[in-house]
Structure 1
């Protein structure tokens, strides 16, 4: 594994994307996602190492994850390479797709929304997110460029075997 992938926060594109995530969160919610001072690279590292799960996807017809911090990679049991090739819809079970689609639409319309719900890891483990926030990502010209989600509280569910 190359160092650039082992430490994605060192890549220029991820440093820039990290700034976009933070600025978009501030824009929509009026709050700071992370209290950090320092260079953009230091901020990108702090976001990647933050104690909450953070992921974002792009604007594709079937959106693909383009960012996941260390907590997200651990939660979904994926490497950076695997995560950034995964359609975000694959994190919700088929039965939860309609609710997930509704949330994505609500955030697209309002800028952000709160959510709770069941998601699944890459190995099929189910967990319940309790305190999620989903928001639109906007670029420097305030053009829509994807969505991001963050949460810090979840509970793994026992499978009914």
Structure 2
């Protein structure tokens, strides 16, 4: 079961979670996910409606997705409830899971990794290659680790 409701205007597009993603991203990469001139709510809505993918999973031993913007829901052909109740390892094909796990462990040690790629699987069975992926640790202002986020703007259906 999802820990967050589907982002919408009533819940301010999960602004608190998006702020965690934005702050961590900026702190680790020196870049912004969206314009820092946007209000917190405006940035959360912009990220949810973005033409690029933004996703996060929690810090559990078998991480569960905690967020996926509309582009992610479209790519994975899932509802919010389906996506945010799925262990993130299941998004990768079985042969690719070991490499994905190694990459995520490296991100946890380093803080972030840029320009990765991999094959992912939609609910329909459609496979797609994600490219130009940046994965980063989600760390709050007190230094607590909450999981990892990822963003990418290129994918190819295969």
TM-score (norm 2): 0.91
- SS of 2:130's equivalent? strand
Contact 2:12/2:45 (<8 A) preserved: no
Question: Compared with structure 1, are the counterparts of its residues 152 and 96 closer, same or farther at alpha carbon in structure 2 (3 Å cutoff)?
Answer: same
**Contact 1:10 / 1:41 at 8 angstroms: preserved in 2?**
no
Rounded Cα–Cα distance in structure 2 between residues aligned with 1:96 and 1:73:
21
**1:24-39 to 2 correspondence within 5 Å?**
24-39=24-39
Aligned to 1:47: 47
Residue deviations 1:40-93 (CA, integer Å, cap 9, x gap)? 212111110111011100011211111000101111011111111111011001
Structure 1 residue 110: deviation in Å?
A: 0.3
Residue deviations 1:90-114 (CA, integer Å, cap 9, x gap): 1001100111001101100000012
Find the aligned partners of 1:14 and 1:107 in 2 and give their Cα distance.
Answer: 24
Q: Which residue of 2 aligns with 1:113?
A: 113
Preserved contact between residue 65 and residue 84 of structure 1 (Cα < 8 Å): yes
Question: Is residue 12–residue 44 contact of structure 2 (8 Å, CA) maintained in 1?
Answer: no
Measure, in 2, the Cα distance between the counterparts of 1:104 and 1:44. 25
Q: Distance in 2 between matches of 1:36 and 1:72?
A: 23
Whether 1:75 aligns to 2:75 is: yes
Gaps of 5+ in 2: none
Normalised by the length of structure 1, the TM-score is 0.89
For 1:45 and 1:16, the matched residues in 2 are separated by 12
The offset of 1:8, in angstroms, is 3.8
Shift of residue 35 of structure 1?
1.2
- Equivalent residue, structure 2, for 1:140: 141
Q: 1:43 to 1:123 in 2, by over 3 A?
A: same
- State the Cα RMSD in Å: 1.8
Would you identify which runs of 4 or more consecutive aligned residues in structure 1 move more than 6 Å? Answer: none
Count, aligned residues: 154
